[in-house]
Amino acid sequence: MPKGMHKELLGGMAVTLMLITLSVYLPLMGLISSILIPLPVLVYRLKLGKYPGAFLPVTVFVITWSVMGRFSSTLLFFGELLLLGFVLGDVLSRRKSIEKTFLHVGTVVLITTLTMVFFFNRGAEQSLVTMVSTYIGQNLELTLKLYEQQGIPEDALLVIENSLDKIQYILVRILPGLITSGILLSIWFNILAARRLAPRLGFKFPDFGALNHWKTSDSMVWTVIGCGLLLLLPFQGLKLTGVNGLIVLMTLYFFQGIAIVSFYLEKRNFPLVIKSLCYGFIFLQQILMLLVIAVGFFDTWLNFRKLEFHHNY
């Protein structure tokens, strides 16, 4: 391996390990750091090639495992993020369409996650549902303590505390949809970030064209209607299928809604600061996020951008 490549790999490993460390020890920055973990893996896969690029996530995973001292759900989580970065870089190097990129990467990561969870659970004393429920309950309690430290009024805290069991019950059952949605969001964010970094770091990135022109297939609205109808049926399993399906579909419509927002921000030539503030408000305010999803959904009929769309599935 050339000397320059050694330096590149060491730099990428250092950045990735730093992001993992921040995710573990700084809870408030944990989400942002976690989302960024695939990025250096993706960048160096595109920059250095397949086999040198694979060395980075494998080495980082081994180091993380050795530091943690045991195989755990947290290690599995980081391992899947590292895998996502490598697989995403590998698919991007093949210059597939944006839809196929999401489909291939999401499928590989989701299947690998389910397989690893299955084998991890086989050696555990608790059932998978019990283990997940316990994990979610612990995180909810930590979140409640964090709210207490932030000085949230006691009445509001009491309402949240009394609702923890219900929240835990719901979260366990919509976890498949949340995991799939999280994978899609991670793919989306890292594609956008890598696209920005490509000219500066000197690696080739596929030309997806103007991503703010992207939209879902019009026929997908029937899937939304189907999932909605499942919620009306008196069968718990079908209702849960409908809810989880809607979570994933709303994520796709969120991408479409954000594309519309980006289209008009660029059309009006708003400065980068204004654009950043706008995106920041959307991600921080749930109402705005729901509004963006609604815009993406109704774009199926209203075509807010007045564009002709051609899908490359």
- Interval 58-78 mean pLDDT: 87
> For the chain, what is the total number of helices (H) and then of strands (E)?
14, 0
* pLDDT tens, position by position, 8-24: 888 889 999 999 998 88
Segment of 169-178, 182-191, 200-209 carrying the highest mean pLDDT: 182-191
Provide the pLDDT for residue 194: 94
- For 111-151, the pLDDT digits (tens) are 998 888 777 666 555 555 666 677 677 677 777 776 677 67
Residue with tokens 């599935």: 313
Rounded-to-integer distance, Cα 57 and Cα 287, Å: 37
For residue range 225-239, list pLDDT tens digits in order.
999 999 999 898 899
Residues 252-302 pLDDT 10s? 999 999 999 999 999 999 998 999 999 989 988 889 999 999 999 999 999
pLDDT at 308 over 90: no
pLDDT value at residue 309: 55
Read off the pLDDT of residues 30-45 as tens digits, 9 standing for 90 and up: 677 888 999 999 999 9
Helix axes 3-25, 27-36, angle to 10 degrees: 150
Q: Say which residues have a Cβ less than 8 Å from residue 233's Cβ, sequence separation at least 6.
A: 239
Is residue 214's pLDDT more than 60?
yes
pTM of the model as a whole: 0.86
Long-range contacts of 266-270 (CB under 8 A, 24+ apart): 266/212
Q: Categorize the per-residue pLDDT at 313 as very low, low, confident or very high, splitting at 50, 70 and 90.
A: very low
Question: For the residues 52-66, what does the mean pLDDT come to?
Answer: 92
Q: Does residue 223 contact residue 300 with C-beta atoms inside 8 Å?
A: no
Residues in CB range of 171: below 8 A, 6 or more apart:
136, 140, 178
Under a CB-based contact definition with an 8 Å cutoff, are residues 133 and 121 in contact? no
Residue of 297, 191, 313 lying closest to 251 (CA atoms): 297
Extract the tokens encoding 116.
Answer: 């690893």
Neighbours of 138 (CB within 10 A): 11
Q: What angle do helix axes 286-302 and 236-267 make, rounded to 10 degrees? A: 80
Task: Look at residue 312 in the predicted model and tell me its pLDDT.
Answer: 45
Q: How far apart are CA 177 and CA 194, in angstroms?
A: 26
**In whole angstroms, what is the distance from residue 203 CA to residue 127 CA?**
45
Average pLDDT value for the chain: 86
pLDDT bucket at 181, cuts 50 / 70 / 90 = very high
User: Average pLDDT of 176-191?
Assistant: 92
pLDDT at 178 > cutoff 50: yes
Q: Which whole number is the average pLDDT over 181-186? A: 92
Amino acid at 310: H
Confidence tier at 162 by pLDDT (50, 70, 90):
confident
